[in-house]
Amino acid sequence: MLLNNAKTMSYIVPLPTRPKLACADPIILPGHRCFIQTTGTPSDRQLFQESMHNGLIGDYQIRVKSTQLDAIDLNAHRPHGFIWDPALLSPALRQRLIIDPEQPQSVLANQLSLLNTSLDAPAVNLIGATPTLMVTPRFDLIWTTAAYASQLGVVQLVESSRIAHFADGASAVIRDTEALNTGPVLFLSDPADSQPVKPVCPFQAQDKQQRLTFTSTVTQPIPAQWAGKAVTSISVLEKFTLYFMQNAAPDQPEHCIWVPMHLPIVWGWSIRVQQRYDGVWDIFRKKLILPQSSTEAPALPLWQNNSLA
């Protein structure tokens, strides 16, 4: 994870290029089920084996422990799939789709505009009697459901290294996701958390628009002891990838899946805090990645573990 020095705490993010206000095809909407015409020929099978990279997947299952991305089952009684990005559909794929008559039809598309991002300066605050290191990214959004009612949610993945340091020069790992060798993991802050996708706002009806600010505070409690030894400092190195997602029917996975509404957004921090002679915890080293859209991160969030596993 590479972190660069940051001199400012906010900047304007370019508006997303997708989804467009008008769909290329007024009846093909992201996240919805469609049925498939297939001839059963080898070329046909090749077409649908490659469809994951071309906007069409068999299923996308999201769980706290992992995600599962399935190919289209052409042997099913009635083959079907889900459109996760209509802009990627090839003409050959479009010709094979039978749109579910139950899905909404519109010449418009839902849209999420990211107006501005900022990152609150990291700080050490007391939560109860425990000093806690924290940082908060902020995202100013306009959420428009011009085509159909939908739920806006967010998924956060993280690559994380957190280490406790002791007076004798030794250290102990609090968290190291890279040791799992599975890539970024789902970020969770509460062991009781069972929601991989967090709602950003209430379910929004069709033809509505709202401006809102989404925040997500990341914390690291500073324990007095770790592994039976007094802690003198804590270091944190983390890179987050955040995905704003929508789902027209979160309670009906057979009809709709979660799909991205914006390019992935990457931010991060590298920081170390240590205790002064008077017992106060001070930040004495920090580097920040301000939130910015990324074309390098995977378009769909995928993970095989979470940060509390």
Q: Could you tell me which of 60, 148, 145 has the C-alpha nearest to residue 102?
A: 148
- Average of pLDDT values for 88-105? 85
**Position 90 pLDDT exceeds 60:** yes
Coil/strand/helix, residue 210: strand
How much of the chain, in percent, has pLDDT values that exceed 70?
90
Q: How confident is the model at residue 51 (pLDDT cuts 50, 70, 90)?
A: low
Distance separating alpha carbons of residues 198 and 252, to the nearest angstrom:
17
Neighbours of 72 (CB within 10 A): 22
**Residue whose token pair is 């190919």:** 71
pLDDT score at 75: 85
pLDDT score at 142: 98
Query: Is the preceding peptide bond at 19 cis, omega within 30 degrees of 0?
Result: yes
- What is the pTM assigned to this prediction? 0.87
Q: Could you tell me which of 179, 141, 139, 138 has the C-alpha nearest to residue 160?
A: 179
- Average of pLDDT values for 59-77? 91
pLDDT in tens, 229-265: 999 999 999 999 999 999 999 999 999 999 999 999 9
Give the C-alpha distances (Å, rounded to integers) separating 9 from 6, 119, 153, 288, 289.
7, 5, 25, 9, 9
Neighbours of 221 (CB within 10 A): 13
What's the distance, CA 127 to chain centroid?
27
Domain chopping of the chain, boundaries: 10-19+108-293
pLDDT in tens, 110-148: 999 999 999 999 999 999 889 999 999 999 999 999 999
Q: How confident is the model at residue 184 (pLDDT cuts 50, 70, 90)?
A: very high
- Average of pLDDT values for 153-181? 93
